[in-house]
Copies of this chain bind each other. A is one copy, B any other.
């Protein structure tokens, strides 16, 4: 059984190709009788229209490309799920690609999607603008950035979270509990306006609540070693509570502390960005600053749909971060 084509359906229903097309797409007038006959023939044959051929004529693929750095990161998995869900309900298929925080692969994927003439692209950019990303813009393919943005592509709308509200709530909580020495670990800050902004927001807000000499900021790159040494530094400075701008760092830190007998919420208090399920499984459960990833995802998808379907001028949006206190933050010693 090879693929059934529109021709087979026409033959079987004793009509022509054009009539079948019109009947199955509800376009133009057709007599109810022929329409019914055609639908039955299509059903009997198990006809599945070739979307490639369809798309070539109508320049509409109902396909959207989604690019995330790493699908194994639960934050991105949640994001991808929310986006795919929203898009699916609107009749679009989402193709999820992974760039592995790797520029080359990122561009290979984008190019491949472009060659399939996707109707739009949702991208969590990694690093700066790339050739393939510029190609998307040049070809006028609708695109939105989600979660992060790229500093030199201002024409692309972005849906991300505003770190200030959650950080403010978190820092106020620490302040209220009597902490005087707070630290911030900012993750892979290089090239990332998002992580830069988080750090800046921390500095600003902490500056209004704590003394200058009670505020400590460090950054990690990827990798275990660095995270361990940063934690050591924080400890040696007598930092009482530390906020992680990058949840993957927090995960490493928790694992490290567990293996060294450090007790979170006692030896040191801890807060991380991203409301991940695993942060509720640890003992104690980890306080988080939620980016409301679900909201970011659905907003991003809707924004793209607005562009694809050309309703209004959709603009960038920010979702408020939200502090969720749990037992990893205790009173100051």
The chain A residues found within 8 Å of chain B, CB to CB, are 1-3, 46, 48-53, 55-56, 61, 63, 70-72, 74, 77-78, 80-81, 84-85, 88, 93-98, 105, 108-109, 111-112, 114-117, 135, 138-140, 251, 254-255, 258, 277-278, 280-283, 285
Contacts and interface: CB of A to CB of B under 8 A. Distances in A.
Given A78-B72, A281-B251, A50 B117 contact: yes
Contacts of A277: 251, 278
A139 B72 contact: no
How often does this chain occur in the complex, in copies?
Answer: 2
B72 A72 contact: no
A139 B50 CA distance: 13
Nearest to A280: B255
Given A48-B114, A52-B61, A72-B77, 20 more contacts: A3-B117, A48-B111, A51-B112, A51-B116, A52-B56, A71-B81, A72-B74, A72-B78, A84-B97, A84-B98, A85-B98, A88-B105, A93-B112, A95-B96, A251-B277, A255-B280, A255-B281, A258-B283, A277-B278, A283-B283
A109 B84 CA distance: 11
Contacts of A135: 46, 48
A87 to B, nearest CB: 11
A193 to B, nearest CB: 26
Contacts of A93: 95, 97, 109, 112
Contact of A1 (B138, B251, B281): B138
Contacts of A114: 48
A113 B140 CA distance: 25
A97 B96 CA distance: 8
A160 to B, nearest CB: 20
Contact of A282 (B53, B109, B111, B282): B282
Contacts of A81: 70-72, 98
Nearest to A76: B77
